[in-house]
DNA sequence: CTGTATCCGATGGGATACTG
DNA sequence: CAGTATCCCATCGGATACAG
């Protein structure tokens, strides 16, 4: 059960490839994870995710919105207020992402070891 | 249970951020998934993953090797032969990745809908 | 507060040709 | 077969400044 024979081809129609097109970058999974905690405002998310610039945050949010994973609601008040909320599909997609995050939390020691090792070897 | 309060900060020490540093790119999860099927040779993987160039495959494999997720074994024969195998840690990390792949397989219809929608909206 | 615009370097990623 | 070496373009991603 460790081999699946010569037949399996992971082409661009393979579901995993397609879901990776949606979320496989530096920030998207984190933003998704952050939004899973509930409706969030723009600045709030930036505060929660140190290192994430406005530019990248808006870019990620626009992508998620375009793909129907996030709903964006603008309130016409001053100062401006915008709320971001996961859609039903967004919440579904969050589940496997959350599994990955949980796995990470459960394997911090291994992550430590990886990063220690990284320092002693040349990058790529 | 949908909100986690103002306290949670997803900084660069947050485990999810760290595991994403390991695998959050276009090809790594696919390669990991492919290797989970058993020991693989270089050309074999390239055949299984259409669209993946030699350059990117070797780059991804070197990264996985550096991080201790993959073991590389070279056989001194002609023609050359090299085998790549997941390490114990690699197999562990494969689990949540497999979950994501399984999720994708279970939600092909939603993925179809996303891609249909994408065409009608402007990209970013 | 929620964005936009611009600049710019770093990286990702494909094509092609070459090597042991 | 399993890589290496280049070239080159697109996107990523940070910094800064500006606007409604």
Alpha-carbon distance B37 to nearest alpha carbon in chain A (angstroms): 5
- What's the pLDDT tens digit per position in A77-117? 999 999 999 999 999 999 999 999 999 999 999 999 998 88
Q: Do B100 and A19 touch (CB under 8 A)?
A: yes
Q: Is the CB of A51 under 7 A from strand D?
A: yes
Q: Do B33 and A10 touch (CB under 8 A)?
A: yes
- Structural domains of chain B sorted by starting position, each given as residue range(s) with its CATH number in brackets: 6-122 (1.10.10.10)
pLDDT in tens, B40-95: 999 999 999 999 999 999 999 999 999 999 999 999 999 999 999 999 999 999 99
Q: Does B54 touch chain A (CB under 8 A)?
A: no
Which residues on A lie below 8 Å from B13 (Cβ)? none
Rounded CA separation A79/B46 (Å): 53
- Measured between beta carbons, the chain B residues lying within 8 angstroms of A65 are none
Q: How many CB atoms lie within 10 A of CB B116?
A: 9
Q: Rounded CA gap, A21 and B75, in Å?
A: 35
| Single pTM value for the model | 0.91
Of A3, A8, A15, the CB nearest to B105: A15
Query: Which residues in chain A have their CB less than 8 angstroms from residue B118's CB?
Result: 66-67
Looking at chain B, the number of H-run helices and the number of E-run strands are 6, 3
């Amino acid at each position: 059960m460790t081999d699946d024979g010569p037949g399996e081809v992971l082409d661009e129609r393979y579901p995993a490839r397609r879901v990776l097109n949606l979320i496989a970058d530096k920030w998207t999974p984190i933003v998704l994870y952050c939004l899973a905690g509930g409706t969030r405002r723009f600045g709030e998310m930036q505060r929660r995710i140190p290192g994430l610039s406005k530019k990248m945050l808006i870019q990620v949010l626009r992508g998620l919105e375009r793909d129907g994973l996030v709903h964006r609601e603008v309130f016409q008040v001053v100062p401006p207020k915008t709320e971001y909320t996961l859609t039903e599909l967004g919440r579904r997609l969050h589940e496997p992402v959350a599994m990955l995050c949980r796995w990470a939390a459960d394997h911090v020691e291994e992550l430590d070891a990886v990063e220690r090792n990284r320092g002693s070897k040349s990058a790529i």
